A and B are shown apart, each in its own frame.
Chain A
Amino acid sequence: MSKNEGGTSVGWGLSQVRQVGSSVNRSAIRAWMAMGALSILPGVAVAESAGSIPNMMRPEATPAHQILSLTFFVLLITGSIFVVVAGLLTVAIVRFRSRNAGTVVEPPQIYGSTQVELAWTVVPVLIVAVLFLTTARIIFAIQDAPKPKDALDVTVVGHQFWWEFRYPALGIVTANELHVPVSPVDHPQPTFLKLLSADVIHSFWVPRLAGKTDLIPNHENTMWIDPHKPGLYLGQCAQFCGAQHAMMLLRVYVDTPTEYAAWVRNQQKPAVQDPAVAAGRRVFETEACMNCHRIAGTAATGVFGPDLTHLMSRSTIASGATTNTPEHLREWIKDPAHYKDGALMPAMQLSDVQLDQVTAYLATLK
């Protein structure tokens, strides 16, 4: 995440209030202030790494915004319940503590009271009614939001342990780093995600944009995002999917219109053909790499692993396990387990020369 976000790291609670102030009423703000003491802990986190935290309390898209407003409302209600009930409990314990351990006199026995019990049944019923109606409204607003005609469609396919992104209308296939256009509030350009899985259940979660939705084999799901601000948003797989579930990280780049257009143009080109690295390309096409990876415009058409046509346009490899530099690429090809023990790419036992050659080749795939 870019550093310019760091400025608001006054403390988690307060910066929140400022950001969503418009959509939250005063009492919610007050409830939030009451939780001020609790905001010390997240404050620690903010001080640690301001911009990159996948914090649901700093939403940048409509679904996440709506969830946060609802969250404040629910926190207000549950917070009040806590104060009242815990308060009563504390008063009871303190006031009715036994002052004299040796006492044999028992207190008066009370067995119940219908009126009192009726009262404390009715109040929760009312609270539930209010909570339910508010919740239902937001469920319908998010889940059943109509899809505008000019929405961008992206198909997300979960794999053990990486993400595949397909843009059917644009003919683009890429991996692990999703690029979507910014969607200004006055001129929405949302992205609708179709979620599929190639193997087991995964879950797509980028907290600052929306809640999570699972990717389930034989069961198509959808979700949508409309990020209001360009930048990088982090997330990761949220359903345990096997050995390297923890390293199934997710990066969503929200691009300005010009950035996005440039990115699309580049992705639509076939792979760079550089005769200087022909040796590396030969290694790639003879050492089984091509059975698992696709490089558009070459003989490599595998689909088991990520599309490598524009590998160098990505800033990380192996779903965020490490940054995308030639050294890391070489290390990865030599022994994927070094970064990601349990990843489904085998170590191919290449010689040092072959490693250098194939790395040089991959490094040209801009």
Chain B
Amino acid sequence: MSNLQSDLPMPIQGTLESEKARRSRSTALLEWLQGWLVTVDHKRLGILYILYSIFFLLVAGAEAIFIRIQLAIPNNHFLTAEVYNRFFTMHGTTMVFLVGMPILFGFANYVVPLQIGARDMAFPRLNALSFWLTAFGGMLLYFSFLGGGLYGAGNAPDVGWFAYAPLTARTFSPGNATDYWALALIVSGFGTLGTAVNIIATIFSMRCRGMTLMRMPLFTWLYLVVSGLTLVTITPLTAAQFMLLIDRYLGGHFFDTQAGGSALVWVHFFWIFGHPEVYVLVLPAFAIANEIIPVFSRKAIFGYPAMVAASVGIMFVSLGVWAHHMFTVGMTSVTNAFFVLSTMLVGIPTGIKIFNWIATIWGGRVRFQTPMLFCLGFLYQFLIAGLTGIMLSVAPMDWQLHNSYFVIAHFHYVLVGAIVFCIFAGLYYWYPKATGRMMSERLGKWHFWLFVIGFHITFDTMHFLGILGMPRSIYTYQPDRGWNTLNLIVSVGGFIQGIAVLIFAYNFIVSYFKGDVAGDDPWDAWTLEWTTSSPPPVYNFAEEPEVRSRRPLWDLKHPYDTDWEYEG
């Protein structure tokens, strides 16, 4: 953005020295700010996405802490029912739409063009528009705390992140809180669609010389799959939100059961979005693991073609399993059986991936630096999450466990145990590329161990609460149900995770100023982003790279043992 400098007013000649220094400092600040606000550079936008998401991670994390204080003991009066319902709704909505999605697209923005040897995304302006739409969506959601209306159902959305009809009808949710919820998701949804289109176009048209599809790093491959999936997932959600607003303000009756509408239509729409959405979140986590596990095991990924096939397979199968969230709505036995089968089938490509990761580690030389620690945590936890997923796909078990704390445990194993773990791994891994400095390993290990311990204290215990009959979304419970001690344990784990995240935030900020200088390639890695400087110049590469294999830096470092001689 250096050409913008000339547009800014020059300091007037002949003023006092101190005045001059002050002015130029404030000019520099303005310039710096403007540089970030109007940027169309994919790296800056990527960083903006990530900072935005980390901010909301702290916000939604704080909401979680409030939730857990309320549930730590039975019949607690720390939060009222209404405030609790707002908090759990905002926690879920924020974590999915303002943390998970944007941070993963932030990684894509930063890394994909660098990995494929491009100078930017295919549509840089669309890229900026997408980010600011997403950001605006987030602001809209949180503005509901002020503008949701002090009337009726309160001032922030309180209908759950799944917002089942007809609870969202104006009869049951007066005021504007639900409107903010719907509008925020529509707006950020458009941002997400823009990014998905952009990633697809970038990957298809901007790869450097020699990078055929089957030589693309798996990270990039997975983002191609995710972006395709995003296009088909976000669309039904956006449509359903429009229908909801039409119901609420234009006299529509899509979901208005009192006028003959159907509550189940919403549930279908929501999960036709919702299930693939969980794969939109988890595939980028796989993408990160696919980079880090090989580099820190010092081995090429095992079974690259199978990994690609499994990802594409998951994409297609995940479009046909949504009704496993609806086993209790009274579908016929045949329909139930169908969705049992399709859901179990997702387990197969997922299993293949886990085996391939293990085979990648097998025979390697594992280095336990922080990014790898988080990836190893991910492997164990994702295995368990997949297995509890299989349990829930057994419809009769789901009749018991649906909407209980067991389901909460299952999907937090995925969302935290797998996705957030990979996000942290990715942050530690690419931080030196983006800032030129290393994050502290010592603090990183503290972060990891506290987080793992807290995670298991909280979420392992939740499985048992579900089996003991505790439903989700309840603001309090009776002391005679046998849930007291377990809930206290869950809350303690929550605090430990909170501390771990604060250590991370501290490390993240302080390392920027005090971290060791990283150099171009601190991890001894193999993909193109590590060939350019840290941080990379605006134009990424002085000249277009050319690749002959999936690991161009390996070839460079081992000229007598190159990959392209072996790759099929």
Contacts and interface: CB of A to CB of B under 8 A. Distances in A.
B394 A246 contact: no
A92 to B, nearest CB: 4
Contacts of B332: 143
A249 B475 CA distance: 13
A240 interface: yes
A112 B81 contact: no
Contacts of A108: 363
B388 to A, nearest CB: 8
B382 to A, nearest CB: 11
A88 B358 contact: yes
A238 B356 CA distance: 39
A249 B478 contact: yes
B390 A131 contact: yes
A82 B387 contact: yes
A283 interface: no
Contact of B167 (A56, A113, A200, A211): A200
Contacts of A42: 464, 467-468
B409 to A, nearest CB: 12
A42 B485 CA distance: 10
A110 interface: yes
Given A110-B300, A110-B302, A234 B481 contact: yes
A271 interface: no
Given A135-B395, A216-B330, A238-B471, A112 B366 contact: no
Given A55-B468, A67-B397, A131-B390, A48 B337 contact: no
Interface stretch (B47-55, B230-238, B343-351, B530-538): B343-351
A112 B306 contact: yes
Contact of A85 (B159, B358, B471, B563): B358
Contact of B300 (A109, A218, A219): A109
B195 to A, nearest CB: 31
A276 interface: no
Contacts of A240: 85, 159-160, 164, 167, 403, 472-473
Contacts of A135: 337, 340, 394-396
B400 A341 contact: no
A169 interface: no
Nearest to B388: A78
Interface stretch (A119-127, A257-265, A287-295): A119-127
B403 A44 contact: no
B425 to A, nearest CB: 15
Counting contact residues on chain A (CB < 8 A from B), the size range is: 35 or more
A74 B391 contact: yes
A50 B468 CA distance: 12
Interface in B312-367: 328-330, 332-333, 336-337, 340-341, 344-345, 347-348, 351-352, 354-356, 358-359, 361-367
B336 A139 contact: yes
Interface in A79-106: 81-82, 85-86, 88-89, 92-93, 96-98, 101, 103, 106
Contact of B328 (A82, A109, A203): A203
A143 B478 CA distance: 31
Contacts of B341: 128, 132
Contact of B330 (A213, A247, A249): A213
Contacts of B9: none
Interface in A59-79: 64, 66-67, 70-71, 74-75, 78
B543 interface: no
Contact of A56 (B364, B368, B400): B400
Contacts of A106: 298, 365, 558
B81 A342 contact: yes
Nearest to B345: A128
A41 B355 contact: no
B464 to A, nearest CB: 5
B262 interface: yes
A53 interface: yes
B376 A101 contact: no
A69 B429 CA distance: 46
B480 interface: yes
Given A46-B482, A93-B376, A135-B394, A243 B328 contact: no
A45 B172 contact: no
A112 B394 contact: no
A274 interface: no
B91 to A, nearest CB: 13
Contacts of A41: 461, 464, 486, 489
Contact of B366 (A98, A139, A237): A98
Interface string A122-154: 001100100110011011101110000000000
B166 interface: yes
A311 interface: no
A235 to B, nearest CB: 7
B170 interface: no
B183 interface: no
Contact of B363 (A70, A96, A140, A239): A96
A344 to B, nearest CB: 11
Interface in B259-284: 260-264
A245 interface: yes
Could you tell me the dominant secondary structure of chain A's interface residues? mixed
A220 B402 CA distance: 19
A241 B363 CA distance: 53
Contacts of A342: 81-82
Interface string B271-314: 00000000000000000000000000111101111100000000
B303 A117 contact: yes
B337 A139 contact: yes
A149 B397 CA distance: 28
A120 B349 CA distance: 10
A53 B469 contact: yes
A221 interface: yes
Contact of B364 (A88, A96, A116, A243): A96
A301 B471 CA distance: 34
A244 interface: yes
B486 A45 contact: yes
Contacts of A103: 365
A160 B366 CA distance: 56
Contacts of B153: 243
A191 interface: no
Interface in A263-278: none
B80 interface: yes
A53 B481 contact: yes
B39 interface: no
B257 A217 contact: yes
B513 interface: no
A82 B368 CA distance: 23
A212 interface: yes
A324 interface: no
Contact of A89 (B358, B364, B468): B358
A34 to B, nearest CB: 14
Contacts of B484: 48
Given A92-B362, A96-B297, A139 B340 contact: yes
Given A107-B298, A139-B395, A212-B402, 11 more contacts: A49-B479, A56-B401, A57-B467, A106-B365, A109-B300, A111-B302, A120-B352, A199-B172, A211-B328, A219-B264, A239-B164
22 contacts: A45-B486, A54-B468, A70-B394, A89-B358, A96-B361, A96-B362, A98-B365, A111-B303, A112-B306, A120-B352, A121-B348, A125-B348, A132-B340, A135-B340, A135-B394, A136-B340, A139-B336, A199-B172, A219-B329, A221-B329, A238-B403, A242-B167
Closest 6 CB pairs of A and B: A211-B399, A54-B469, A246-B474, A45-B482, A221-B330, A217-B257
Interface of B: 80-82, 85, 153, 158-160, 164, 166-167, 172, 257-258, 260-264, 297-300, 302-306, 328-330, 332-333, 336-337, 340-341, 344-345, 347-348, 351-352, 354-356, 358-359, 361-368, 376, 379-380, 383-384, 387-388, 390-391, 394-404, 461, 464, 467-469, 471-486, 489, 558, 561, 563, 566-568
